[in-house]
Amino acid sequence: MLRRAVFRFARDRKANVAIIFALMMVPIIFLLGMTLDYTLALRKREQLNAAADAAAIAAVRPAMLTQSDPAVVKATAAAVFASKANLSGLAAVPTPTITVTDSGLSRSITVSYTAASVNNFPGVLGKQTWQIGGSATAKASSAPNMNFYLLMDDSPSMGIGASAKDISNLIKFTAPAYQTAGASQNCGFACHQTNIAHDGGTKDNLAIARANNITLRIDLVTSAVNQLLNTWSNCPQSGISGGVMQCMAALNNTTYKAALYTFDLTLNELAKLTTPSLAGAQVNNISLMPVAYQNCVVPTTNCKTDNGTDIAGALKSIYDIMPTPGLGSNAPGDTPQEVVFLVTDGVEDKISATCPNASFASNSRCQQPLDTTMCTTIKSKNIKIAVLYTEYLQLIADPLTGIQKTDGWYMSWIDKYDQPTSKTGQIAQNLQSCASPGFYASVQSGGDISKALTDLFIKVASSTASLVQ
């Protein structure tokens, strides 16, 4: 009987599903437990990676880049990490390993960690925790201390009307209907004449421009420098008085100084190297160079020409003033970086026996794009050059007839340097070659010179931090 019962049980298949299910429960429970704990561990790892990212970035912010004590830098990164790493489900708040590497103005910081994620199924997995780990590396260069030498073109060509309308109005108000006969009639330049009677005129063209509220290109340059040194309403940090330079110094936690010069045939000092605010007090002294009368430049006595722009000579004079630049760090014995900020229309107009493009053989008047030889000399001393090109364009507006006309002088001596366009011609090419890489900008007449100068300054002064991994 017993034997037959055993055989019947062996042949019966009705309970196999239950047996198989019971046998499969063990690996299923194991897999479910492992998946749940692994997923939770990955989530904690993502959160801890974010904490490491925040800690690394915090240690290379501008304010921290000025901190030379590695212990302070590490403590800052550790505090940021701890504030974000106190997560539930960890065996303990992990203590990060922080490595700080400084090289000149550059800093690299790595924040790495290991942690234990508590398992919900320790019996199934055979262990109480799941080990996780990660790291983040950030690099940044601190904004250097800088000395800025602002070099503004004040030659007669900066007396052009700031826009087509200003040019048209200036020609209109210098016409014979408004002024007695004289060589300055129908003039698109607000020439600052000191001997008006010599030309048979009655009013200085600059005075005519001022009396009729005509904005000149030098007015836009003055306004741009004023925004740079005195007043800027768009500083992203509240409570900062002054211009763009003071704002960026506060944002970058660095020190900037400024010197202010204009140039024509010579270099004219308005402010020696000083604080931006003291230099800014001299902005209103930016003015057009005077000419005795048309075709004569003060103080020349042999008045055969009205040349008035020696850009290379001004660069040579400023080079002789500037010291050898340092790295710009706060390390003992280090000195600031040195920067020339050149604002010009890029056309030299001077007397030179060696000028390859002399217009007049009799007196060697030289009108040509900037000779970049001096730029190369300056940059070889590790002095940076930033250039804002106020594009040189011909005067073609005829307010009396409404007909576009060609300016003969421009077409004869300048136009070839502005081809195919003023943005791509030889004048622009030479100025861009003069500038340090990335420190060149241009703006046409009527354009926003203040914005262009501000954007260029911020590009020179800015520093950013970035995550490497």
**Secondary structure (3-state) at 423:** coil
- Decide if 125 contacts 135 (C-beta within 8 A): no
- Report d(CA 43, CA 34) in Å as an integer: 14
Picking from 109, 122, 117, 118, the residue whose alpha carbon sits closest to that of residue 133 is: 117
Which range of 1-15, 21-35, 403-417 scores highest in mean pLDDT? It is 403-417
- Report d(CA 11, CA 15) in Å as an integer: 11
Q: Is the dihedral of CA 276, 282, 287, 291 positive or negative?
A: negative
Task: Say how many C-beta atoms besides its own lie within 10 A of residue 315's C-beta.
Answer: 25
CATH 3.40.50.410 in the chain, residue ranges = 146-468
**Secondary structure (3-state) at 130:** strand
- Report d(CA 53, CA 51) in Å as an integer: 5
The pLDDT score that the predictor gives to residue 301 is: 57
Q: State which amino acid sits at residue 17.
A: V
Which residues does residue 189 pair with via DSSP β-bridges, in sequence order? 160
Condensed to tens digits (0 to 9), the pLDDT of residues 137-166 reads 998 877 889 999 999 999 988 988 888 888
* pTM of the full structure: 0.75
Task: Enter the CATH code of domain 146-468.
Answer: 3.40.50.410
The CA–CA distances, whole Å, from 196 to 169, 187, 309, 338 equal 20, 14, 22, 42
User: Parallel, antiparallel, or unpaired: how do β-strands 365-369 and 358-360 relate?
Assistant: antiparallel
- Report d(CA 209, CA 219) in Å as an integer: 11
Q: Which of 58-62, 63-67, 455-459 has the lowest mean pLDDT?
A: 63-67
Q: Which helix (H) or strand (E) element contains residue 152?
A: strand 146-153
Task: Say how many C-beta atoms besides its own lie within 10 A of residue 89's C-beta.
Answer: 17
pLDDT at 27 over 80: no
- DSSP per residue, 403-421: -----HHHHHHTGGGG-S-
Q: What is the mean pLDDT of the chain?
A: 82
pLDDT at 14 over 60: no
